Amino acid sequence: MPADDPDVLHLGDENRFVVRLDGAEAELVYGVRGDRMILVHTGVPEELGGRGIGRLLVSAAVAHAASVGLVVTPWCPFARRLLEQHPEMATGVQVDWTPPPGVPAPPDTAGPVGPEGHLDEQEVESFPASDPHSDWAGPAS
């Protein structure tokens, strides 16, 4: 992280990574299910936009997952697109591309299957919806 990047705080008891800057707070909310860190939502206030803070939050979450041996499951639309477009960010960590509940798997994926390392249907249905206000419609083209 460059010296001029803001600090990312891990609030493990709240399942959040946050950046507090100029009186505003950006966050990445996650959940842990078994060996999965499910990236649920990334929110960056408008006044902090354009500074790469969302990327910093995703990077911190992925680094944490790697350090504790968790598989990253990006349900957050922003985190998913970022990791798809920059796979180097996920070096050293396994990524499970299972989509959030209620969102069909893209046609080029098999969907959630337990033995191959994806969340099984029961786990997917038991985890809270990622972001009810999400506009996620599948992988970025």
How far apart CA 1 and CA 5 sit, in angstroms, is 6
pLDDT digits (tens, 9 = 90+) for 68-109: 999 999 999 999 999 999 999 999 999 999 888 887 766 654
* Structure confidence at residue 108 (pLDDT): 57
56-65, 83-92, 131-140: which range is least confident on average?
131-140
How far apart CA 32 and CA 29 sit, in angstroms, is 10
pTM of the model: 0.74
Q: Which domains can be identified in the chain, with CATH numbers?
A: 9-93 (3.40.630.30)
Q: Per-residue pLDDT averaged across 50-68, rounded?
A: 97
Contact, 72 vs 94, CB < 8 A? yes
Higher pLDDT, 2 or 85: 85
